[in-house]
Structure 1
Amino acid sequence: MTALLEVSGVSVTFDGFRAINNLSFTIGPQELRAIIGPNGAGKTTFMDIVTGKTRPDTGKVLWGEKSISLLSMSESRIAQAGIGRKFQRPTVFEDQTVTENLMMALKAPRSPFRVLGWRATAADRKRVEELAVEVGLGDQLPRKSGELSHGQKQWLEIGMLLAQEPRLLLVDEPAAGMTLAEREHTTRLLVDLAKTRAVVVVEHDMDFVRRLNCRVTVLHEGAVLAEGSLDHVTANPQVIEVYLGRGG
C-alpha cells in the first residue's frame, strides 16, 4: 500500500536542543495511528512539521500518491492539500450556532469577492446537516456553540475540520477533560473516520489508546522508540523505562 504521508530522516533543533532526531514515520490512506510518549518526546513538533508551522533542518516530508514535498508549501497550502489539525483546546465560534460554525468551515472559494457574495445553497445546508450527524451533533444545530459541553465542542471542531475534506486528520489529546460517555463516542468517531481517511491521534491516556485498537508509535527524544500494537509497545523494556515507568 502506498503511504499517504512519509516523513523520512527529519531532524530539527531549537537553541541547541534537538527536538526531532532523524525521525521517520509513514501512514496509509485509511489508517488510524496513535502516537504516545513522555513530555518533550517531540509529539507536538512532529505535528508542527507536518502542518508547516516548523521547518526541519534535514529530512523529507512527502505527501500523497505523487510524493509532493510539504516542506516547500505554506501552512495554508498544506491545509488546502488535505491535512487538518485539531489542537487540544477546542476553538469554535462560541457566539455562533453549530450550523453557522459548520457553514463557515465548508470548503469553498475564499477570495474576497467570492466571500462577499457567498450564499449558502441547499447542497451546503445538506452538507452541514450530514457533518453534524457524522460527529454526533445532529440534534444540536440551532444551539450556540458556547452552550455545548466540552466534548461536544471537540466534536464540533472535528466537524469543522471534516468540512474541509481532509485526507489526513491530526488530533491532539481528544480525550482530555471528557466524560466517560463522551470518550466512548469520541473513540467510535475516530475509528469510523479512519475508514475513509488517515487519522493520527496524539494521546497520553493509555485506556483511550487501547480502545482505539490501532497501531501505536512511541516517540522518545524526537525519534521512534517502538511501533506496533499497544500490547507490543508497552511490553518493550525501553518503553517501560522511559515512559510507563514514570507513570506516563
Structure 2
Amino acid sequence: MTALLEVSGISVSFDGFRAINNLSFSIGPAELRAIIGPNGAGKTTFMDIVTGKTRPDEGSVTFGPRSISLLGMNEARIAREGIGRKFQRPTVFEDQSVQDNLILALKAARSPWRVLFWAPKPADLIRVKELAQEVGLADHLPRKAGELSHGQKQWLEIAMLLAQEPRLLLVDEPAAGMTPAEREQTTALLVSLAKTRAVVVVEHDMDFVRRLNCRVTVLHEGAVLAEGSLDHVTANPQVISVYLGRG
C-alpha cells in the first residue's frame, strides 16, 4: 500500500539542540497511528514540520498519491492540500453557536469580496448537520460553543477540521481533561474517522492508546525508538528504560 505521508531522514536543530534526528516513518491513507514518547522526544516538532510551522534542516516530507513535497509550503497551503491539525487546547468561537462554528469552517471559496455576500446554501446546512452528527453534537447545533463541556468543544473542533475535508488529521492529546464517558466517545470517533482518512494521535495516556488498538510509534530524542502494537513496544527494554520507567 502506498503511503499517504512519507517522512524520510528529517533532522532539525534549535540552538544546537537536535529536536529531530534522522526521523523516518510512513502513514497509510486510512490508518490510525498513535505516537508516544517522553517529553522532549520530538512529537510536537514532528507535527510542526508536517504542518509547515517548522522547516527541517535536512530530509524530505511527501504527501498524497503524487508524493508532493510539503517542504517549502506555508501552513495555509499544507492545510489546503488536506492536512488538518488539532491542538491540545480546543480553539472554537465560543460566542458563536455550534452551527455557526461549523458554517465558518466549511471548505468554500472565500475571497474578501465573496465573504461580503456569502450565505450558507441548503447543501451547506445539510453538511453542517452531517458533521455535527458524526461527532455527536447533532442535538447541540443551536447552543453557543462556550456552553459546551471540554470534551464537546474538542469534538466541535474536530468537526471543524473535518469540514475542510482533510486526508490526514494530526490530533494532540485528545483525551486530556475528558470525563470517562467523553473518552469512550472520543475513542470511537477517532477509530471511525481512520476508516476513511489517516489519523495520527499524539498521546501520553497509555490506557487511551490501548483503547485505540492501533499501531504505535515511540519517539525518543527525535528518532523512532520502537514501532508496532502497544504490547510490542511496551515490552521493548529500551522503551521501558527511557519512557515507561520514568516517574
1:12 paired with 2:12, answer yes
The amino acid of 1:50's aligned partner reads V
1:139 partner SS: helix
Letter of the structure 1 residue corresponding to residue 20 of structure 2: I
Mapping 1:1-248, distance limit 5 Å = 1-247=1-247
Determine helix, strand or coil for the equivalent of 1:93.
coil
Residues in 2 aligned to 1:16 and 1:144: alpha-carbon distance in whole angstroms: 46
Please state how far the C-alpha of 1:224 moved relative to its aligned partner: 0.2
Corresponding residue SS for 1:211: helix
CA distance in 2, matches of 1:232, 1:188: 23
Residue identity opposite 1:132 in structure 2: A
Residue deviations 1:76-120 (CA, integer Å, cap 9, x gap)? 000000000000000000000000000000000021111111110
Please list every run of 5 or more consecutive structure 1 residues that lacks an aligned counterpart in the other structure. none
Following superposition, the deviation at residue 13 of structure 1 comes to 0.2
Q: Deviations over 1:119-158 (max 9, x none)?
A: 1000000000000000000000000000000000000000
| Residue type at the aligned position of 1:144 | K
**Counterpart Cα distance in 1 of 2:30 and 2:135:** 18
Alpha-carbon separation, structure 2, partners of 1:147 and 1:177: 16
Q: Percent identity?
A: 84
Name the aligned partner's letter for residue 78 of structure 2. I
CA distance in 1, matches of 2:93, 2:25: 34
Deviation at 1:25, TM superposition (A): 1.4
**Cα shift readout 1:27-48 (whole Å, capped 9, x = no counterpart):** 0000000000000000000000
Q: 2-side partners of 1:23 and 1:117: how far apart?
A: 47
Give the Cα separation in 2 of the matches to 1:53 and 1:116.
30
Q: Residue 74 of structure 1 aligns to which amino acid in structure 2?
A: N
When normalised by structure 2's length, the TM-score is 1.00
List alignment gaps of at least 5 residues for structure 2.
none
2:186 maps to amino acid: T
Q: What CA RMSD, in Å, does the superposition of the two structures yield over aligned residues?
A: 0.4
One-letter amino acid of the structure 2 residue matched with residue 5 of structure 1: L
Give distance in 2, aligned partners of 1:99 and 1:184.
Answer: 24
Q: Secondary structure at the match of 2:138?
A: coil
